[in-house]
Structure 1
Amino acid sequence: MKFLQFAFVFASATLALAQVAPYQVAGVAGTDGEVDPHPKYEFQYSVADPVTGDQKSQQETRDGDKVQGFYTVVESDGSLRRVEYYADAVSGFTATVSHQPGGPAPPAPATYQNYRPEVVA
C-alpha cells in the first residue's frame, strides 16, 4: 500500500513540475540567422552506370537571383534529352528541351527465374 501512495505522490509531483516548466522553442540547426544578400554557387555531377544503363548529368550556377544550368538524361530508347534552363526575378523560369538521336537503346536488365523447389510426394 505504501508503494501505491509513493507512486501517486511521485506522479503528481512530476505532472505539477511539467505544467510549471517554461516552454522553449528549439532553434533551427545549422543557421546563424543571417541571409546572404547575394548567394553564389556552382555545381556539376554526372552518372554513367553500365550495370543499370543510367546515364545523366547536371550543371548549375547561381549568381544572386539568376540561376542557369542544364541537365541531360539518356532516354530508354537511347536518345539524349537535354534541358537548358534559366531563372531570374524578371522572367521567371524558362526551359528549352532538345532531343538528340543516340545509339541503340541500352539492353533490358536480365530476367531471373525464381527458384522453385521440386515437390516430392
Structure 2
Amino acid sequence: MSLKLQIAVIACLAVVAIADQSPYPAPPAYAPPAPPAYAPPAPYHPPPKAYHAEPDYPDVPPKYNYNYGVADGYSGANFGHSESRDGYKTEGSYTVDLPDGRKQTVKYVDNGDGLVAEVTYEGEAQYPEYKPTYKPAPPAYGPPPPTYA
C-alpha cells in the first residue's frame, strides 16, 4: 500500500474517532407520561333554553290578491301579472310582449292537485330581414405632426 493511501486511511479513522465524542450532553432517556389519576365524568348540564319563544302561526289558509304591470316606452318592456289565492285554490295570469312582436298570455289554475296552464299568443311573429348599413372605417392615422425648425 502506498504511503499516501495509508495517510488517508489513518486520517479517516481519526475523524471517525473524534466525531464519536459529542461536546453536547446526551438527551435524557424517554419515559412515557404517567397515567392520569381517575376523575369522575363532568356532570351533565342540558343546553340553555332559547331566549325567545317560537312564533305561533295561525292555522288559517292563505288568502290574497295582487297584480302589477310594467310599461316602459324607452326599453319597450311591457308585461304584467295578476294572481289570487283562497286556501289551496290559486289562479292568475301574466302577459309578456315577445321580441318577435307577439303578445304571450298565460292563464293558470291550481286547485291543490296540480297546476293547469293555458298559453295563448296574439299577433303574428315578424322576423324582418337584417340589412346592415355601410359605415366606412375611420382613418388609421391622423395627419402627420407638425415639424419645427
1:58 maps to 81
Name the residue aligned to 1:99: 121
- Secondary structure at the counterpart of residue 81 of structure 1: strand
Counterpart check, 1:37 vs 2:60: yes
CA contact (8 A) 1:68 1:86 kept: yes
Distance across 1 between alignment mates of 2:125 and 2:72: 16
C-alpha separation between the residues in 2 aligned to 1:86 and 1:65? 10
Identity among equivalent pairs (%)? 31
The amino acid across from 1:98 in the alignment is T
Q: TM-score, structure 2 length as denominator?
A: 0.47
Distance (whole Å) between structure 2 residues aligned to residue 55 and residue 26 of structure 1? 49
- TM-score, scaled relative to structure 1: 0.57
Counterpart of 1:72 (choices 95, 101, 115) is: 95
Aligned residues: 85
One-letter code aligned to 2:72:
D
The residue type equivalent to 2:57 in the other structure is E
CA 1:44/1:24 → structure 2, altered by over 3 Å: closer, same or farther? same
Unaligned runs of 5+ in 2: 1-46, 128-140
Larger Rg: 2
- Higher RCO (CA < 8 A, seq sep 6+): 1
Higher strand share: 1
Counterpart position of 2:105: 82
Gaps of 5+ in 1: 1-21, 106-117
Q: Root-mean-square deviation (CA), in Å? A: 3.5
User: Of Structure 1 and Structure 2, which has the larger fraction of its residues in helix?
Assistant: 1
